[in-house]
Amino acid sequence: MSTTLVIGGSSGIGLATAVRLAALGDSVHIAGRRAETLAAATHAHPVLHPHALDARDARAVEALAVELGSIDRLVITLSGNQGAGPLPDLDLDVLHTAFEEKFWPTISAIKAALPHLAPSGSITLVGAVTARAGIPGTAGIGALNAAVEGLVAPLAAELAPVRVNAVSPGYVDTPWWSMVPDADREGLFAQVAANLPTRRIATADDVAEVLALLATNPNITGTVIEADGGAHLGG
């Protein structure tokens, strides 16, 4: 049985990925900071093993990796949701925080878990369409996601035979959008969906399907799959 660790697995895309990989027969461990979110996830999906940790704490990640023994699939889906906005209005302290909440914990968790990854294992990350699409108001958050996606090719070459890949989603209906009041979110999503080639906002499971493929397929490495409803095409 493969051992999988999903950091950010208590919510949204990470939780959907954990559920998919558990359905494939993996022993799946999910990590997140909030105990109540982890408890809700494992209440809904008792097959998942919860671990409360902050991925910014490399020692905590390493301790969990030691506890797990050997990790076959490391999936990192964590992030905060700050850093968007037109440059003149963008508070650079907030952008620093956005990097602290996504890029630094991602690279730190990879480094901490690395000695415990199986040689045939995989690392699978999540970027975003903002990394490449040229969407106004995304210079900061785009640079953040480009930094995460930029890890993929060099690490795939450096860590081989461990495989390293990422998915690049667009607009996904998850708690990530909690900064938009509930009353406004439906209207925002309808407006965005109308301009997407697929005419729909993605579900967490749409993206989880791609993450599960990247995490398990032995022939894919160094790849970032755009799974964004065509958002990278503009429009």
Ligand X SMILES: NC(=O)c1ccc[n+]([C@@H]2O[C@H](COP(=O)([O-])OP(=O)(O)OC[C@H]3O[C@@H](n4cnc5c(N)ncnc54)[C@H](OP(=O)(O)O)[C@@H]3O)[C@@H](O)[C@H]2O)c1
Query: Which residues of this chain interact with ligand X, rule CB under 6 A?
Result: 7-8, 10-14, 31-34, 37, 54-56, 77-79, 101-102, 105, 126, 128, 169, 171-172, 174-176
Residue 113, SS3 per DSSP: helix
Shortest Å, Cβ 150 to ligand X: 14
Distance in angstroms (rounded) separating the CA atoms of residues 231 and 235: 8
CB atoms inside a 10 Å sphere around CB 134 = 11
CB atoms inside a 10 Å sphere around CB 135 = 16
Contact yes or no for 146/131 (Cβ under 8 A): yes
Residue nearest to ligand X (CB): 12
Where do we find the tokens 């998850």?
174
**Angle between helical axes of 139-149 and 92-101 (0-180°, round to 10):** 30
Q: Is 82 or 221 the residue whose CB approaches ligand X more closely? A: 82
Contact yes or no for 30/51 (Cβ under 8 A): yes
Q: Is 47 or 160 the residue whose CB approaches ligand X more closely? A: 47
Shortest Å, Cβ 161 to ligand X: 26
Instruction: Say what the alpha-carbon torsion angle 173, 210, 153, 94 is, to the nearest 10 degrees.
Output: 10
Shortest Å, Cβ 175 to ligand X: 4
Q: Is 99 or 171 the residue whose CB approaches ligand X more closely? A: 171
Q: Is 68 or 172 the residue whose CB approaches ligand X more closely? A: 172
Shortest Å, Cβ 47 to ligand X: 17
Cross-strand bridge partners of residue 4: 28, 73
Q: Is 161 or 175 the residue whose CB approaches ligand X more closely? A: 175
Q: Is 67 or 160 the residue whose CB approaches ligand X more closely? A: 67
Shortest Å, Cβ 212 to ligand X: 14
From 51, 27, 26, 47, select the one nearest 37 (Cα to Cα).
51
Shortest Å, Cβ 22 to ligand X: 16
